[in-house]
Chains A and B, each alone.
Chain A
Amino acid sequence: MSLHTTLWINGETYALDADPRTTLLDAIRDHFNLTGSKKGCDHGQCGACTMIVNGRRINSCLTLACMHDGDEITTIEGLGQPGAMSALQEAFVRHDGFQCGYCTPGQVCSATAMLEEVSQGWPSHVSEDLEGPAPLSEAEISERMSGNLCRCSAYPGIVNAIRDAAEGGTT
């Protein structure tokens, strides 16, 4: 059985005819050859596959492509490119917020959407006050980024990069 699905990825339309078992991640990596999004665990346990779907960051390994017909998807390729990086991508380079680079696209996608969540006033597990403003402290960034594992352990650089980009204005 093959299903037809239309996906809007980074502003372009992509037509997929694939086995319904195909995850959003595998569709985009294997069928459209956009391999920036990574597969680290395939079970929603590492965050390397993070994409932004209809404005929200999700684990693209834990959703089927066919469930996203017509959805707007932003992958790492849609956030910037070498020579025209987003502020957050530049900050990751500047602060060495990665080493091997494999978790990095997921970190950057996650951080991009996370800053939007913060701007909408979403609290987190470490927020003192559920209803008050959540200043972007080190702990707030760390908690909100804890769904993205980095085994090279660039966490200090990741936090600094996000903070820098957030304070520098637009990401």
Chain B
Amino acid sequence: MTAHLKLDKPQSDRLGDMAQGVIGRETPRREGPLKVTGRAPYAAEVGDGTEAVGVFARATIAKGKVTKIGLDAVRALPGVCAVITDERLLRNPAQGTANTAPVQGGRDVAYFGQPIALVVAETYEQARHAAHGLEIAYDAAEDAAVTPEDAEPESLESKQIDIGDLDTAMSHAAHSMDATYTTPSQNSAAMEPHASIAVWKGDELTLHGSYQMLKFNRNELADSLGVDPEKVQIKSPYVGGGFGSKLGIAPEAVGAALAAKELGRAVRVVLTRPQVFEATMRRSETRQRVRLAADADGKLTGIGHSAWVSNLVGEAFSEPVAQATHFTYGGANRSYRHLIHRVNRTCAGSMRAPGEAVGMLALENAMDELAHAAGVDPVELRLKNIPDRHPEDDKPYSSRRFADCLTEGARAFGWHKRNPTPGQTRDGEWLIGLGMASAARGNILSESHARVTLHSDGTATVETDMTDIGTGTYTILGQITAEMLGLPLDRVNVALGDTAFPPASGSGGSWGAGSSGSAVFVACQNIRAALAEKLGMEEDQLTLTEGSVIRNNTREPLSAVLDDDLTVEGHIEPGDTSEEVQQAAFGAHFAEVAVSAVTGETRVRRMLGCFAAGRILNEQTARSQCHGGMIFGIGAALTEELVHDPRDGHIVNHNLAEYHVPVNLDIPQLEVMFLEERDAHANPLQSKGIGELGISGAGAAVTNAIFNATGVRVRDYPATLDKVLPGLPDI
């Protein structure tokens, strides 16, 4: 049986009606005991030890053609069983939701670090050495564009927008801001490197991979190999972090599959950490010009956000920098430009909150600058500029407790203690400052399927190819099912991450929980209906609780009323509510920093995020998602920068010693507040995405706090000490 819901109208809170107290409750991750004891198997770990091992050899020029590969020398090395130089090898991973193969063909080099050949040997030690020694000759192109300045930018027509007349608004403004901000390339740096084991049985391929969006990945892999998707199965029950870097099929999966086919045996390919940096996805560097025009009270009359980003030739993705600028603040005169430099650098793709993560660094930094210039409190400035309706298309907002996030967050943080004059608060050597920023992230529903079975023994099973990349999916889908079917959580089994199961939305764009959860909800709702019919009652009269049915004031175990399993495949799809209203989650970040007056080193002392994102499905895992986002924001603000060599574009710091993701000591105890909210337009769970809200704006709160502490305005992220140093007082 299948059940389908297209979201053409707002939904009642049927989930809330259940009143089981399971949904929303702080519930530890159900797979937690497996993870903390090392028993959860990740992609590279499911083999039986007989796999051959592949290691990539990379391009060491920025652009050109491979003219010769020294196959013979390497094939003669101990243990080497194959060198794959197949035309089907990927130049770079597929973009998220691409659903088709990315650019293929190993002979045309588009960036330094591009995988050129896969060397396969009996052992990892043999393969690594052989790959390192593989001689590759090139015909290097003279016209490589290794920095954005090397390439005239393309203009994306649909993103050049002018509403009203911003230039005039700027010239008439009582207060205005016109500044340029830059953010560097970044890397998701998930702790598990990209890994695949490919196993063929005849013409059927099983790929154990580490991927976020399996239904797309299956098609991308099949298309890359030139086989029927029906013949491809991908399994990713555990994914060691993604953050966007595992959205699309990547070189190691295709390499493993090609090698396994050629050798007639299983092949394992795990990218080295430098290869994760060089050959998966980076977040594009950005240059952003933000213009703000305001009247004497600080009310915006105009807003402009122009962005320059980069990517390889042939990539449709470009960092959507101004995404949140469109709907966060009012102002009648608006202008946007979006320009893309085609560069010979590692592919740019989605990294946690593409768009907002960097766009709000600039926008919220600029808002702080405007507040300072206008003498308006930064919280107050934002409150003044919350529009009634979408300022560009006049749509109403679905749910939006943006103002409450600002005011309640400010109260909880003690914002009123902030001295608006920079550089006034000192604690010994340390200059203390407070800063804040808004958070906003658009909400999306994505088509999703899930199969739920209520077994005759009173247990339930959920099956979907949805992934849990640390987001809490195993737990949340269990909670939704338990809530809807009145079951104790431990009677719900959740099976994920296998394309043999119904196709889900996948994890990305913050839509995973809402979308896959809604598919589960729809299935459960129809199981309830079927059960009610079986029992001769209306669904809304059916009370299920603690594994029992209550009717006629008597309680019967479900196992007593079920003589057979009830299975429903739920299917949710976006509809008119995605078009009719502006859906987004909102929040506010508050940070206290200490900046060394001697060295310019910044330490975050306190940070609070106050968020409204519809129903919170599990307060514990949601809080952890917000922590994760906020800490990514701290990294973006203070330490993270992929450095491209100016001569060949290669990533110089392609390791975790010199690409500085925050360490434990960089992070204080963070406070996260959730405001009660329901969003009837978002989905039947009335939830909104939370995975990327926490990063949106977070870093700007930190740099704004640096300004308050020191008077130094850092517009070139990250705010490493060298950028703060020149503005510090003499010692």
- A-side residues, CB < 8 A to B, are 19, 21-22, 26, 29-31, 33-43, 45-46, 48, 75-77, 79-83, 85, 89, 92-94, 96, 98-105, 108, 126, 138-139, 141-143, 145-160
Contact = CB atoms under 8 A, between A and B. Distances in A.
B701 to A, nearest CB: 16
A99 B191 contact: no
29 contacts: A22-B123, A22-B125, A26-B124, A31-B49, A34-B38, A35-B42, A36-B38, A38-B42, A39-B193, A40-B192, A40-B193, A77-B37, A85-B33, A89-B36, A89-B37, A93-B32, A98-B29, A99-B624, A100-B191, A101-B31, A146-B664, A148-B664, A151-B241, A151-B661, A153-B627, A153-B662, A154-B628, A155-B667, A156-B627
A30 B191 contact: no
B192 A96 contact: no
Nearest to A26: B124
B37 A38 contact: no
Given A22-B125, A101-B238, A151 B191 contact: yes
Contact of B191 (A21, A46, A146): A46
A100 B33 contact: no
Given A35-B45, A151-B243, A155-B664, A41 B37 contact: no
B272 interface: yes
B39 A81 contact: yes
A135 B632 CA distance: 29
A19 B123 contact: yes
Given A48-B191, A103-B191, A157-B627, A43 B657 contact: yes
Give the 10 A-B residue pairs with the shortest CB-CB distance, closest first. A36-B38, A102-B240, A99-B470, A101-B35, A100-B470, A153-B631, A76-B38, A35-B45, A93-B32, A45-B656
Contacts of B623: 96
B621 A151 contact: no
A102 B190 CA distance: 9
Given A38-B192, A101-B40, A21 B49 contact: no
A152 B624 contact: yes
Interface of B: 28-29, 31-42, 44-45, 49, 123-126, 129, 188-193, 238-243, 270, 272-273, 469-472, 620-621, 623-625, 627-628, 630-632, 655-657, 661-665, 667-670
B344 to A, nearest CB: 26
Nearest to B634: A153
A87 B632 CA distance: 29
A143 B28 CA distance: 26
A92 B624 CA distance: 13
A122 to B, nearest CB: 16
Given A102-B42, A102-B240, A41 B36 contact: no
Contact of A85 (B37, B123, B661): B37
Contacts of A31: 49
Given A40-B193, A93-B29, A82 B661 contact: no
B478 to A, nearest CB: 15
Given A36-B38, A108-B36, A153-B667, A19 B661 contact: no
A166 to B, nearest CB: 15
Given A102-B241, A153-B631, A145 B38 contact: no
A99 B471 contact: yes
Contact of A43 (B44, B238, B655, B668): B655
Contact of A104 (B35, B243, B273): B35
Contact of A146 (B31, B36, B38, B665): B665
Contacts of B42: 35, 38, 102
B258 to A, nearest CB: 22
Nearest to B662: A153
Contacts of A148: 664
A85 to B, nearest CB: 6
A37 B471 CA distance: 22
B125 A100 contact: no
Binding site secondary structure of chain A: loop
A75 B39 CA distance: 12
Nearest to B620: A96
Contacts of A145: 664
Among A81, A147, A160, max chain B CB count under 10 A is at A81
Contacts of A26: 124-125
Contacts of A19: 123, 125-126
Nearest to A36: B38
Given A151-B243, A154-B627, A29 B667 contact: no
Contacts of A151: 188-191, 241, 243, 661
A154 B624 contact: yes
A76 to B, nearest CB: 4
Nearest to B32: A93
A156 B670 contact: yes
A158 B472 CA distance: 17
Nearest to A31: B49
Contacts of B44: 35, 39
B26 to A, nearest CB: 9
Given A156-B627, A159-B664, A40 B273 contact: yes
A152 B188 CA distance: 10
Contacts of B621: 96, 99
Nearest to A77: B38
Nearest to B126: A19
A142 B667 contact: yes
A31 B240 CA distance: 22
Contacts of A39: 44, 193, 270
B29 A75 contact: no
Contact of B125 (A21, A48, A105): A21
Given A142-B665, A146-B664, A33 B191 contact: no
Q: Which of B37, B188, B471, B667 has the most CB of A within 10 A?
A: B37
A102 B471 CA distance: 13
Contacts of B270: 39
B241 A37 contact: no
A82 B667 contact: no
A81 to B, nearest CB: 5
Given A31-B49, A40-B193, A85 B36 contact: yes
Given A40-B191, A77-B38, A149-B656, A100 B273 contact: no
B610 to A, nearest CB: 16
Contacts of B28: 93-94, 96
Nearest to A23: B125
A155 B193 CA distance: 20
Contacts of B670: 156
Contacts of B124: 26, 30
B394 to A, nearest CB: 38
Contact of A75 (B38, B191, B240, B669): B38
A149 B661 contact: yes
A41 B240 contact: no
Q: Which of A21, A31, A96, A158 has the most CB of B within 10 A?
A: A96
Centre residue among B28, B32, B625, B631 by max chain A CB count within 10 A: B32
Contacts of B240: 38, 100-102
Contact of A42 (B35, B39, B272, B472): B272
Given A149-B191, A155-B667, A157-B624, 14 more contacts: A38-B240, A40-B193, A42-B272, A43-B655, A43-B656, A45-B273, A77-B38, A81-B39, A100-B241, A105-B38, A150-B191, A151-B241, A154-B627, A158-B664
Contact of A82 (B33, B190, B620, B665): B33
